[in-house]
Structure 1
């Protein structure tokens, strides 16, 4: 099967970001989405540390380390972009002013529960950040993650076993093997990578998945 790499996953997510959307990209893998947003679309990227109007990552050697995102990565600012107090940024997030947030995850359940801040292991370092605010405050929550752990365990599950970030907040999951819609009706695969069958996807996840029409 033709498993997507991380840049290809970011490209796939970027295709679904519509014109005029206000979007927050979570720390880690989701930040790559900024590099693949269609230039013909006006999309407003927000960072919880107080930025609006972020552009793609700067070229090597052109970083301005006074201009960073919430993950402490150097970013660019598009014409008309702004930076402001993080309290105002969280007011945007909690007040329902973000159209889409794209987050990473340890687990997502078929009904859209999200677990992305702690694995529950005694030596694990919790990292909730603003994920709880985004998951509940954004109008749509997308998750971008590899479908399986390094040990081959599925991250899309019937029920999350890790501490939860938010309940029934995720609507779409983008992975290296398939795209899923999740919610009250359960999980449905909407796209599979070349060479992957629905039967094999069911085996990998252990879920009774259907393929959306």
Structure 2
């Protein structure tokens, strides 16, 4: 078995931020993806969008400086960069549905090897359905990236050959940024982009239970 160290949440957020290009309009989904705002490289002009109607978000608000009239979609207090704005929810969804976002970064319950996304419901009978804007983002953005732990709490792969949870979108995920590896989803299946130090390719395939093409 490989001797490797998983990426922590902030390390994973830095890894995602590393691939965001200058001038991109980016939506960060609820949960781990919001951390990406804190790790964008200095000098990079990235316009962050939140589906509740914010454009030009900065990092999370510092302790003691929170303004709960200025929050992201996860109800966390954020900052607004010079030139930023907040506006009607309907206009925000118009941006999402109109193809104006270059990248959205979402969490997921499952992703298929070919990029199907399930991130709004596990199918549990007692769960409250809450799709939010996930379907609009997954299909409306030019690129959909997923940021997640690759295994669930029981050690089962969250990347599967076919999603068993209700789908958010079909073949919409281009990349998966995980605690163990970064992967591309293609019509032919998974392709490796990078691995954490100490983890070998064969061990990753064993953990996921799926073939992963070399990068």
Q: TM-score range by the shorter chain?
A: over 0.9
Shift of 1:126: 2.1
Calculate the TM-score normalised by the size of structure 2: 0.97
Match of 1:36 in 2: 39
Match of 2:196 in 1: 193
1:114 aligns with 2:123: no
SS of the equivalent of 2:74 reads: coil
Structure number with the higher strand fraction is 2
Q: Relative to structure 2, which stretch is displaced further, 26-35 or 203-212?
A: 203-212
CA distance in 1, matches of 2:148, 2:212: 18
CA distance in 2, matches of 1:156, 1:188: 12
CA distance in 2, matches of 1:126, 1:175: 25
1:79 aligns with 2:87: no
Match of 2:175 in 1: 172
Shift of 1:127: 2.0
Structure 2: gaps (5+ residues): none
- Aligned counterpart for 1:13 among listed residues 16, 19, 36: 16
CA distance in 2, matches of 1:163, 1:210: 27
Runs of 4+ displaced beyond 3 Å: none
1:181 aligns with 2:184: yes
Match of 2:92 in 1: 89
CA distance in 2, matches of 1:81, 1:46: 10
CA distance in 1, matches of 2:17, 2:130: 25
CA RMSD of aligned residues (A): 0.6
Give aligned pairs, total: 212
CA distance in 2, matches of 1:127, 1:203: 33
- Deviations along 1:42-74, one digit per CA (max 9) or x if unpaired, are 000001111000000011010011100111000
Match of 1:2 in 2: 5
Shift of 1:202: 0.8
Structure 1: gaps (5+ residues): none
SS of the equivalent of 1:182 reads: strand
Shift of 1:183: 2.0
SS of the equivalent of 2:95 reads: helix
- Aligned counterpart for 1:150 among listed residues 153, 161, 176: 153
